[in-house]
């Protein structure tokens, strides 16, 4: 009789058996249970003569075991699992050669057990990998479908493979309708060539990504201006798989640009009409141009002044006549001349060009917008006209509107919308230029009690003083914003080490822990800080790093408040992390 026996806590059972009808016995009766404790082989030549087995029911009854030889079987970790054994109903002795053969057979069985063990572990790993893949796919699908910008996967033939609801909204098609089209079908024909050239650059690995402003054709027939960012995904061997594109709706910006350009064109048209009407009278022309509220000059092909109106005297205290015949470098700073030289060259090539945000004098805060109009005579460009409009007040008004939208009215700090923009900037710098940053999420400790004790006016005063203290505690180039209520966020660009972050956090904790002076008495609060380092996060995004810093802040609160904790570098977020949305919205 021969068998492969495995032994567990209470029994032995036979995986393979020859010459025996029994397939399982209690462990306390098993010969193999004794073989588990020997190093090499358990050999019982005559069980009747061995006091350990003489009264064993397997000896005194069926199957009447007299002879037993068992070799332990071990796992890949060296654990004894059972035995390979030979049994007979007659006493026997084994030669050394027979013993060696039995041991060799035991090694063969061990290898088979190890292979099965490896196969089981491989299946387990594969199941775990499959589960992880399903999770990642589900997360990607959620991010893809819920994105506030249009997103799409485009196959190598240009057909929309996957589209999200936002892209459907931009183009007016259903997802099923778009999947029947290529991006060429919905691209305005005049914009298609530039798009295809950039696609070719991706395919031939001349660039990794590209961005382009172009026009789509809406289902209703009208044009939709979009800005697209496109990446080509390749497999491990470098072969192209598909394109991923992010589509931003920029219709509103284009409408504003069109209004500005129309205004500028109208102004240029009026000035040009007057200039043409009064060409025969230099004096009349001079009088008119001197009284227009813009800088007007005529420049020849050698980039020398041929005419300047009297506004140059009013603005720069320069007699316009002294500029006649002099090069533009006599009026323009070297760095400004280099900046504007491409505009001059394009105007001399016959193109009307505009340039914004010009500061002619560093001693003045005036901002100018200039237009360069070719001076064409008898079909030849002989120079160009320069018309510069003072847009200082307009720029100030635009800046005031932006500041109002981007600043917290109570503390004067940047608000949630400004935080969103700054996070997008530092995340882009981290991804493309390798510039790290750290994010500090602050929540004031004891603020609610202080607010209840000193009233809302006292609470507002505390928040304003907190803003001032934070501005003094951090570095000059660091960014600080009020997120909401008593929550603040600090972004430290270029900081990638925990020791530096610890110094910044301690400085903030020390600054906030000093009592606040209020009309009805001092108030004492603290702050709990969660710190997340961009270099420790694999899938870096604004929501991800904010959520990790927020979770670390709550850890700081649980550990005693008025202290700081670093976010875990685990790839997974804690399940109880609250969602923090930084999407641009009305604050």
If DSSP codes are grouped into helix, strand and coil, which group holds residue 82? strand
Which band of pLDDT confidence, cut at 50, 70 and 90, is reported for residue 154? very high
**In this predicted structure, what is the pLDDT of residue 135?**
66
Q: What is the mean pLDDT of residues 75-80?
A: 82
When pLDDT is averaged across residues 209-222 and rounded to a whole number, the result is: 95
Q: What is the DSSP string of 375-417?
A: EEETTEEEEEEEEEEE-HHHHHHHHHHHHHHHB-TTT-SB-HH
pTM given for the model:
0.39
Is 587 inside a domain boundary?
A: no
How confident is the prediction for the chain on average, in pLDDT? 87
For residue 356, being part of any structural domain is answered with yes
What CATH number corresponds to the domain at position 462? 3.30.70.270
Question: Do 411 and 551 belong together in one domain?
Answer: yes
Same domain, yes or no: 241 and 269: no
Q: Residue 56: inside a domain, yes or no?
A: yes
Note the pLDDT of residue 399: 66
Asked if residue 16 lies in contact with residue 113, where contact means CB atoms within 8 angstroms, the answer is no
pLDDT digits (tens, 9 = 90+) for 22-44: 778 888 778 877 878 888 898 99
266 and 367 assigned to the same domain: yes
Q: What is the mean pLDDT of residues 334-343?
A: 94
For 451-465, what is the mean pLDDT? 94
Examine the pLDDT at 265 and tell me if it is beyond 80. yes
pLDDT at 37: 82
Between CA 190 and CA 217 the distance in angstroms is: 11
584 lies in some domain:
no
In this structure, is residue 355 part of a structural domain? yes
Instruction: Tell whether the model's pLDDT for residue 476 goes beyond 80.
Output: yes
Question: Is the pLDDT assigned to residue 286 strictly greater than 70?
Answer: no
User: DSSP letter at 523?
Assistant: B
Query: CATH code at 166?
Result: 3.30.450.20
* 427 and 295 within one domain: no
The residue among 101, 120, 139 that closes a domain is 120
Q: In this structure, are 357 and 458 located in the same domain?
A: no
Residue 369 belongs to some domain of the structure? yes
Q: Average the pLDDT over 297-308 and give the result.
A: 93
Confidence of residue 583 (pLDDT cuts 50, 70, 90): very low
Q: Is 463 a residue whose pLDDT tops 50?
A: yes
Q: Is 230:201 a contact under the CB 8 Å cutoff? A: no
411 and 494 assigned to the same domain: yes
Do 503 and 524 contact (CB within 8 A), yes or no? no
Comparing 308-312, 383-387, 458-462, the range with the smallest average pLDDT is: 308-312
Domain end among 365, 395, 425: 395
The residue-averaged pLDDT of 215-228 equals 94
Q: What is the pLDDT of residues 158-182, one digit of tens each?
A: 999 999 999 999 999 999 999 999 9
Residues 159 and 95 occupy one common structural domain: no
Residues 346 and 459 in one domain: no
What pLDDT, on a 0 to 100 scale, did the predictor assign at position 571? 45
In this structure, the answer to whether residues 172 and 298 fall within a common structural domain is no
Q: Which domain holds residue 84?
A: 2-120
CATH of the domain at 79: 3.30.450.40
pLDDT higher than threshold 60 for residue 54: yes
**Same domain assignment for residues 74 and 208:** no
For residues 528-554, average pLDDT: 92
- Peptide linkage before 46 cis (omega within 30 of 0): no
Residues 386 and 275 in one domain: yes
Q: Are 28 and 55 in contact (CB under 8 A)?
A: no
Q: How many domains does the chain have?
A: 4
Q: Are residues 411 and 559 in the same domain?
A: yes
Q: Is residue 131 included in any domain, yes or no? A: no
* Predicted local distance difference test score (pLDDT) of residue 364: 78
Q: Is residue 576 part of a domain?
A: no
Percent of the chain with pLDDT over 90: 53
């Amino acid at each position: 009789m021969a068998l492969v026996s495995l032994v567990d806590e209470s029994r032995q059972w036979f995986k393979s058996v020859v010459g025996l009808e029994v397939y399982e016995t209690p462990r306390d009766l098993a010969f193999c249970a004794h073989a588990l404790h020997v190093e090499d082989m358990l050999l019982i030549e005559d069980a009747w003569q061995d006091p350990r087995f003489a009264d064993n029911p397997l000896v005194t009854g069926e199957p009447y075991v007299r002879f037993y030889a068992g070799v332990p079987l071990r796992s890949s970790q060296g654990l004894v699992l059972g035995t390979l054994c030979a049994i007979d109903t007659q006493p026997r002795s084994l030669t050394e050669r027979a013993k060696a053969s039995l041991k060799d057979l035991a090694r063969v069985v061990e290898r088979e057990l190890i292979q099965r063990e490896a196969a089981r572990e491989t299946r387990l790993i594969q199941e775990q990998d499959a589960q992880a893949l399903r999770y990642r796919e589900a997360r990607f699908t959620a991010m893809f479908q819920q994105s506030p910008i249009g997103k799409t996967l485009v196959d190598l033939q240009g057909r929309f493979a996957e589209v999200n609801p936002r892209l459907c909204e931009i183009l007016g098609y259903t997802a099923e309708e778009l999947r029947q089209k290529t991006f060429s079908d919905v691209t305005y024909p005049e914009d298609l060539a530039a798009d295809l050239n950039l696609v070719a650059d991706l395919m031939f690995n001349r660039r990794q990504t590209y961005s382009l402003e172009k026009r789509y054709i809406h289902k209703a027939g009208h044009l939709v201006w979009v800005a697209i960012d496109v990446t080509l995904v390749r497999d491990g061997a470098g072969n192209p798989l598909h394109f991923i594109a992010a589509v931003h709706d920029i219709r509103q910006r284009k409408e504003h640009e069109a209004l500005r350009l129309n205004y500028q064109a109208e102004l240029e048209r009026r000035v040009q009409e007057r200039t043409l009407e009064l060409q025969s009278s230099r004096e009349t022309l001079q009088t008119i141009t001197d009284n227009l509220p813009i800088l007007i000059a005529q420049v020849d092909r050698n980039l020398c002044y041929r005419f300047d109106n009297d506004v140059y005297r009013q603005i720069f205290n320069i007699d316009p006549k002294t500029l006649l015949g002099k090069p533009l470098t006599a009026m323009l700073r070297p760095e400004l001349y280099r900046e504007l030289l491409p505009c001059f060259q394009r105007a001399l090539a016959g193109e009307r060009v505009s340039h914004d945000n010009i500061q002619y004098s560093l001693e003045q805060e005036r901002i100018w917008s200039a237009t360069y109009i070719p001076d064409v005579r008898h079909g030849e460009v002989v120079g160009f006209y320069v018309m510069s409009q003072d847009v200082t007040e307009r720029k100030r008004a635009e800046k005031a509107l932006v500041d109002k939208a981007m600043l917290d009215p109570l503390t004067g700090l940047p608000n949630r919308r400004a935080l969103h923009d700054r996070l997008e900037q530092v995340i882009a710098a981290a991804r493309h230029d390798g510039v790290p940053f750290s994010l500090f999420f602050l929540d004031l400790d004891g603020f609610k009690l202080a607010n209840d004790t000193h009233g809302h006016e006292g609470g507002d005063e505390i928040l304003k003083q907190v803003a001032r203290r934070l501005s003094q505690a951090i570095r000059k180039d660091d960014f600080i914003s009020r997120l909401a209520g008593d929550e603040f966020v600090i972004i430290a660009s270029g900081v990638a080490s925990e020791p530096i972050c610890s110094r910044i956090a301690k400085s903030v904790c020390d600054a906030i822990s000093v009592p606040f002076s209020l009309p009805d008495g001092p108030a004492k609060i603290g702050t709990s800080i969660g710190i997340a380092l961009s270099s420790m996060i694999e899938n870096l995004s604004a929501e991800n790093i904010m959520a990790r810093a927020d979770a670390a802040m709550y850890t700081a609160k649980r550990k005693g408040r008025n202290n700081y904790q670093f976010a875990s570098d685990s790839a997974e977020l804690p399940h109880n992390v609250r969602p923090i949305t930084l999407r641009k919205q009305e604050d």
